[in-house]
Amino acid sequence: MIWNDKRENEYSRITPKILALKEQWEKKDYIDQRLYEEYHVKRGLRDKDGRGVLTGLTRVAEIQSYEVETDETGAEHIIPADGTLYYRGIDTREIVRGSGRYAFEEAADLLLFGELPDRAQLDDFCGQLASYRTLPTNFFRDVILKNPPRDLMNTIQRGVLTLFCYDDKPNDISPENVLRQCLQLMSNMPVLAIYAYQAMRYSSGESLFIHNPHPSLSTAENFLLMLRENREYTDLEARALDVALVLHADHGGGNNSTFTNHVVTSTGTDTYSAIAAALGSLKGPRHGGANMQVMQMMDEIKAAIPQNEWKDEAVLEQYLTARLDKKVGDGSGLLYGLGHAVYTRNDPRCEVFREFVTRLAAAKRRDRELELYLNVERIGKRLLMERQGKEALATNIDFFSGFVYEMLGLPRELYTPIFAVSRIAGWGAHRMEELYQGGKLIRPRYECVEEHRAYTPMGYRNK
């Protein structure tokens, strides 16, 4: 059924009755923030010092970002340290620098199977992914194009759930079947993302073109081939995107979408439901939308400061100070991309990415903008450290990833879907681990702080 605009607007309308119900809800929604302290609640599943609350064990990935020292009283203190991200015990920086031309497939193989593949194993793995990189007949027409997306993440999520209907064994959670499903979703995530974007363009009145992925190309190459009308890309462009995919493929078991995947997987549900839940988590701007927030912040800076003043430290410091004071920008008081929830001294992913930011900026003649980014990074970190009393502050990879995607000509609607194209590798590895090593339903506890009351018969209420 296709609704007309009038019906659609009526369906989405906030009526006076809804507003009244909202006010009714607000009266009972308040929880005194002091109660969180009293009940020792770990807000965000984090200790006061920022360390994550330990909720499980994994062999898939590890983050090292600080050292813990104990003083003479027995109190523990967090000491900033250089950050390292390991996939199956191997530093991701070594994977990027040592893999040769394209590294994402090698990283995905490592995350799933726990060992670096030899050439024959990697070729076989890439061939397996290529054989799965196709959607069912008429899937694009019937599932994606007939319901053009308003948000690509929701369309991808719907596509993943619909693939359940094409699977003869969708609820089979045997290791071999779940592995097949994870590989198929890994292969088709970039296809779903690009086809959803092309459908969005078409629904906006632009020309429709659909390119099939090429079996001999990497994930990064196929992504650019399917996105661009002329199907052309440079080696530097594909390599930069490939590195981004490697660095986002996993981030330990504690990030929100991977933890969501663990929680949902622990119920024993099917692969499509678990991955769809992870996608829903990733869509949230607090998780998958950070690079978009950086780009919006940089747009605001460019609009407020003339290009001939981008090198003026005093002008930039004045603007960034006003932003921190919530006087300009989006009113959040935040400098997006500066600081990280886990890394203290540096984000190792960002350090790897800098090389490709610099090379792309030179190739695309965007050096002046890169200089602005570097100035904002340097001044912004200094201001934040002064205000927060910190000796070190990490620049998040998201500070630069949006700029890289922009230089690659990727539309902003695809920034979070690119994250999903990469993170599906880690989600698959963690799902396999949870199903066959976890063994228990993940069920945390919430303390109810509502007072106990007696039931009041209808005739005595509101009196």
- Residues identified as active-site: 287, 340, 398
Conformation bin of residue 89: beta by default, left when phi > 0, alpha when psi is -120 to 50: left
CB 257 within 8 A of CB 263: no
**Alpha-carbon gap, residue 396 to 376, rounded angstroms:** 13
Tokens standing for residue 94: 């070594």
Is the torsion defined by CA of 214, 106, 191, 168 positive or negative?
positive
Contact residues for 354 (Cβ-Cβ < 8 A; gap 6+): 400
Conformation bin of residue 158: beta by default, left when phi > 0, alpha when psi is -120 to 50: alpha
**Alpha-carbon gap, residue 415 to 423, rounded angstroms:** 13
Tokens standing for residue 238: 């594909």
Q: Which of 104, 133, 105 is nearest to 121 (CA)?
A: 105
User: What angle (nearest 5°) sits at the alpha carbon of residue 285, between those of residues 449 and 156?
Assistant: 110
Q: Which of 52, 44, 54, 57 is nearest to 434 (CA)?
A: 57
Tokens standing for residue 48: 């006061």
Q: Cβ of 108: how many Cβ atoms within 10 Å?
A: 29
Q: Residue with structure tokens 């190459």?
A: 221
DSSP string, 341-377: SS-SS--HHHHHHHHHHHHHHHHTT-HHHHHHHHHHH
Terminal-residue alpha carbon distance, the chain:
47
